[in-house]
Amino acid sequence: MKRDNEISNIVIAGGGVMGASMAQIFAEHGKRVSVYDISEESIRRGEELVALSQRERVRDGTLTETASRETAGRISFVLTPDVFENADYVVECIVENMDVKQAFWRKISAIAPENIVLATNTSGLSISEIAKAVKAPARFAGMHWVNPPHLTPLVEVIAGEETAEETMDVVYGLALSVGRKPVRVKKDARGFVLNRLQFALLREAMHIVESGIAGTEDVDKVMKYGLGLRYACVGPFETADLGGLDTFYRIAEYLFPDLSDSKEVPALLARHYRAGEYGTKTGRGFYDYPGDAAEQAVSRRDRRLADAAGCLIGERETEVTPPGQIRSGTP
């Protein structure tokens, strides 16, 4: 199987929000990238996304004009699937639909070389289920990036039932080689790790608001200025070690019975959903976004993420693993 250090020619399927962004990350690290899409309009949009974000990188000083020109020069957009024949690695970022993904992989896994890794950026569809359409599924794995990829370095590397360990190593190694912080998800569990944690937290956040314990804005503040800030620096297990496991045990004993363990979509979320209030995209969600407030919310998030990422993954951050050693026997 082609190892991660032998990959120079990457094919990304789907040149949308994620594909266009990932293409630039690979290209900045010297890879040649072909972005394959099925419609001319999508290709035009993908090219615009790349041009726009390269202009921003030059303007904010994170890329020189020369480096930006070289990056863009390594990316080509194509409508014909013959690019898969010479790929060293394929990552699929097409629409989040099982039938569409399976149809794509049925065709492409028969064209792509047998000795390369094939990956999907699905947000949460079962890797094992998609793999049923893949020829030689031992070389197939999940490679889940987080939006916006240029500001959030995490990549979840997910094993399906058939995925070979060697395949996991290639995806992990490739992510690492382009400046990402990959993690191994050993079981194809729904939501992988990030979304399981995110939705466990969102369920309790809504439970707090619905129970009248605190309001929406204050729950967001607790995260931004307390828990979120802490979790950007130390994870939940490191936090518990630093706080004392005796204390955490006692709190877990009295607090867990009080937390939400509902299996239903919370009424608060369902109400917004039924009213067509989808958040920034419709101008109304948990908050209202009159005028250009939605655009401002996106750019404020990106500015803050860029600042935080600069601290955490910039030159000052050298540690990938925490200073403590993982104990033998710890799962």
Ligand X SMILES: NC(=O)c1ccc[n+]([C@@H]2O[C@H](COP(=O)([O-])OP(=O)(O)OC[C@H]3O[C@@H](n4cnc5c(N)ncnc54)[C@H](O)[C@@H]3O)[C@@H](O)[C@H]2O)c1
Residues that bind ligand X (CB under 6 A): 13-19, 36-39, 42, 93-96, 100, 104, 121-123, 145, 147
Q: In this complex, which beta carbon is closest to ligand X, that of residue 79 or of residue 270?
A: 79
Looking at the Cβ atoms of 146 and 268, the one nearer to ligand X is 146
For ligand X, give the closer residue by CB, 64 or 97: 97
Encoded tokens for 62: 């994170």
User: Judged by CB, which is closer to ligand X: 28, or 37?
Assistant: 37
Tell me how far, at minimum, the Cβ of 1 lies from ligand X, in Å.
24
**Cβ count within 10 A of residue 209:** 18
Minimum gap (Å) between residue 20 Cβ and ligand X: 8
Using DSSP's 3-state secondary structure scheme, residue 233 falls into helix
- Least distance to ligand X from the beta carbon of 38, Å? 4
| Residue 148 near residue 302 (C-beta atoms within 8 A) | yes
Cα→Cα distances 4→1, 31, 33, 167, Å: 9, 12, 15, 10
Pick from 163, 2, 150, 18: nearest CA to 89: 2
Residue nearest to ligand X (CB): 16
Taking the complex as a whole, the smallest distance from the CB of residue 140 to ligand X amounts, in Å, to 15
- Residue 318 to residues 18, 117, 312, Cα–Cα distance (Å): 27, 29, 9
Token match 């995490």: residue? 154
Q: What's the min distance (Å) between Cβ of 107 and ligand X?
A: 9
Distance CA 174, CA 143 (A): 10
